[in-house]
Amino acid sequence: MSRKYALGIDLGGTNLRVALVSEEGEIIRKIKRPSSDIMASLDTSVREMLREGVSGIGLGVAGLTDRKMRRVHASPNLPEIEGIDIVHELHRRFGLPVFIENDANAAALGEKIGGAGRSFDHFVMITLGTGIGGGIIYKGKLLEVAAEIGHMSISSEGEKCPCGNTGCLENYASARAMTAKAVAMLEKGGDSLLKDCCKGSIYKVTPEDIYNAALEGDTLSREILRDAGRYLGIGLANLINIMSPEAIILTGGLLGAWNIYVQEAIKEASRRSLRDLFSSVRIIPSSLGDNAGVVGAACLVFMSLGDIPPA
């Protein structure tokens, strides 16, 4: 019998990832492109990847998705796709079944099927990048809820978020929050190694710059990472107190800063969450990393075809 494949697409932020995934969850080939001009990029990428045996396309999209209607409700970090009926468009162009899910939910599914989540039946996956997303696995399956963890308010009188809320976790603990804070502190004349990076333009500072400077002992950078970690820890504590998961799996660009940022978050979560719940949760990094999203998106196809028994 010939092997079956699906295309898994991760429309998670500044990059578009498309992968050809086997029904065993193995990535055969992968493309990464900037997510500007999305439909054109998607079209080219899918054409390059299509081959015999591809039974569908799974999409993980940064934003609020409607599983039943197969539409994107709202995508605060990727507004250009809000107006596009992307599922219908892909189906029209390629004649394949198309499934849609929130990107972090897809990543959680990927991690459950082939990553660090394999040995847990109940975990929360958190994607730490430009924004903060979440997905929840419960009794081995994706919990079909929004899981917009980045838009949980942890500061009643806090900063306004583009989503409409104030004090959202994302505004304190994401990559965007860190760089914004670095810029603000440098503008105020804060002394830091960061002034000499980024070719002299403080507006180009990246989370990597901040982490590297922190490793060299830069006080301002260490403070930014620790602050962001503390806020992340409040989010973790809230999730622990509400969802009492066996594990929290962290993924995304910010994981590179595990030693400072995530360690601080774990410390804060241990102080804030209910003791008995904290003692039974493991906080660990993703094992699929960037690939969790495409693997999970492809799984949407296999699951719909009944090829992968619901875990």
Asked if residue 117 lies in contact with residue 111, where contact means CB atoms within 8 angstroms, the answer is yes
Token readout for 88 is: 């219908």
**Does position 311 bind a copy of itself by CB under 8 A?**
no
Closest to 2 (Cα-Cα) out of 23, 20, 27 = 23
Closest to 206 (Cα-Cα) out of 230, 171, 176 = 176
Would you give the binding string for a copy of itself spanning residues 64-83, x where CB under 8 A is met?
x--------xx---------
Measured from the CB atom, is 52 or 157 closer to a copy of itself? 157
Residues 222-241 that bind a copy of itself (CB under 8 A): 231, 234, 237-238, 241
- Cα-based distances in Å from 182 to 155, 167, 223, 267: 20, 18, 10, 23
Measured from the CB atom, is 96 or 163 closer to a copy of itself? 163
Q: Angle at the Cα of 10 (from 52 to 164), degrees rounded to 5? A: 150
Asked if residue 79 lies in contact with residue 131, where contact means CB atoms within 8 angstroms, the answer is no
Residue 125: CB minimum distance to a copy of itself, A: 13
Measured from the CB atom, is 56 or 133 closer to a copy of itself? 133
Measured from the CB atom, is 32 or 122 closer to a copy of itself? 122
The residue count for the chain? 311
Measured from the CB atom, is 72 or 194 closer to a copy of itself? 72
Residue 35: CB minimum distance to a copy of itself, A: 21
**Does position 287 bind a copy of itself by CB under 8 A?**
no
Q: How many residues bind a copy of itself (CB under 8 A)?
A: 42
Amino acid at 259: N
Measured from the CB atom, is 65 or 192 closer to a copy of itself? 65
Measured from the CB atom, is 13 or 63 closer to a copy of itself? 63
Q: Which residues pair with 57 in a beta bridge?
A: 7, 98
**Does position 88 bind a copy of itself by CB under 8 A?**
no
Figure out which of the listed residues 29, 88, 271, 282 binds a copy of itself, where binding follows CB under 8 A: 271
Q: Which range touches a copy of itself (CB under 8 A), out of 41-49, 137-145, 182-190, 205-213?
A: 137-145
Q: Work out the burial of residue 294: count CB atoms within 10 Å of its CB; fewer than 13 is exposed, 13-18 middle, 19 or more buried.
A: buried
For helices 263-272 and 219-243, the axis angle rounded to 10 degrees is 40
Figure out which of the listed residues 83, 164, 217, 306 binds a copy of itself, where binding follows CB under 8 A: 164
**Does position 84 bind a copy of itself by CB under 8 A?**
no
Q: Which range touches a copy of itself (CB under 8 A), out of 27-35, 87-95, 182-190, 267-275?
A: 267-275
CA 55 – CA 51 distance, rounded (Å): 10
Q: Which range touches a copy of itself (CB under 8 A), out of 5-13, 33-41, 47-55, 151-159?
A: 151-159
Closest to 107 (Cα-Cα) out of 122, 125, 121 = 125
Residue 231: CB minimum distance to a copy of itself, A: 7
Token readout for 176 is: 């965007």
Token readout for 27 is: 């990535």
CA 209 – CA 247 distance, rounded (Å): 30
Residues 96-125 that bind a copy of itself (CB under 8 A): 122
Footprint of a copy of itself (CB under 8 A)? 64, 73-74, 122, 134, 138, 143, 145-149, 151-158, 163-167, 172, 231, 234, 237-238, 241-245, 271-277
